[in-house]
Each structure stands twice: as C-alpha cells, then as structure tokens.
Amino acid sequence: MRTVVYDAGALLAAERRNPDLLALHDELTAAHIRPLVPVVVLAQAWRGGPQRQISRLLKGCDILSDDQRAGRAAGVVCKAAGTADVVDAIVVVTAVQHHASVVTSDPDDLTHLASSIGVKLQLFTV
C-alpha cells in the first residue's frame, strides 16, 4: 500500500480509539506513508474542542484542500451515482487521482460511487 485516503468514518474511528484503525495508522506512519485527508472530510468529522484522537491522527496525515478540478469531478461522480453525497464523492475522486486505497466505515456507499464511474477501489473497513 503506497497511498491511503481516510474518509470521515476513519477519523471518527480514531476518535473512538478503534484498535484496528489506530494499528493501521501506526503501520502506515512507520512505513513513512502519510494518509491523505480531503479538507471536506475533516469538516464532516470535526465538531470542535477537544477531539484529541483525531488531532493526534491528523499530525501524521496530509490535509488536501479541494480545488475546482476535484469539485467538478465529484459532481460528475454524484450525477453518475444518482446521489448528492459530495464528501464521499470527493473521497472517491481523491483516491482515483492519487491511485490510493481508502479507509472507511462505509464501504457500500464508496463502492457504489466508484462503480458508477467504472472504478474499483481497494477499501479497508474500520
């Protein structure tokens, strides 16, 4: 595994101290892999003070700001899938752009979005 994208479920799993997610994150960072977190994912999971476990996790991640290209691509994914979940669509777009696996708590929605554009993602469920 070379690149990984975390969705909001992964961040929330960290906050709950999910042992599988924390072990995976430790393995990734030990291998010098910095998981990617789209900024909209952070916005979906962050509810303000103190979310210590999310904060700890984010220290080992790269936060990606979204741009016009990602926004348009996510809109195309939403249309193809018949959904309005732009956050999950951004996760799919980010994974495709970076040839990345995704750590998620919602594999069904991400699989639906990816398959609607003819993509198969490698998903790790937490």
Report the pLDDT value the prediction gives residue 48, as an integer from 0 to 100: 84
Q: What is the pLDDT of residues 99-120, one digit of tens each?
A: 999 999 999 999 999 999 999 9
- pLDDT band at residue 1, thresholds of 50, 70 and 90? low
Number of helices (H) and strands (E) in the chain: give both, helices first. Answer: 7, 5
Cα separation, 8 vs 48, in Å, equals 15
The dihedrals phi and psi of 64, each to the nearest 5 degrees, come to: -100, 125
Q: What is the pLDDT of residues 29-54, one digit of tens each?
A: 999 999 999 999 999 999 987 899 99
Cα separation, 116 vs 126, in Å, equals 23
4-125, superfamily in CATH?
5'-nuclease (3.40.50.1010)
Displacement of CA 39 from its chain's centroid (Å): 10
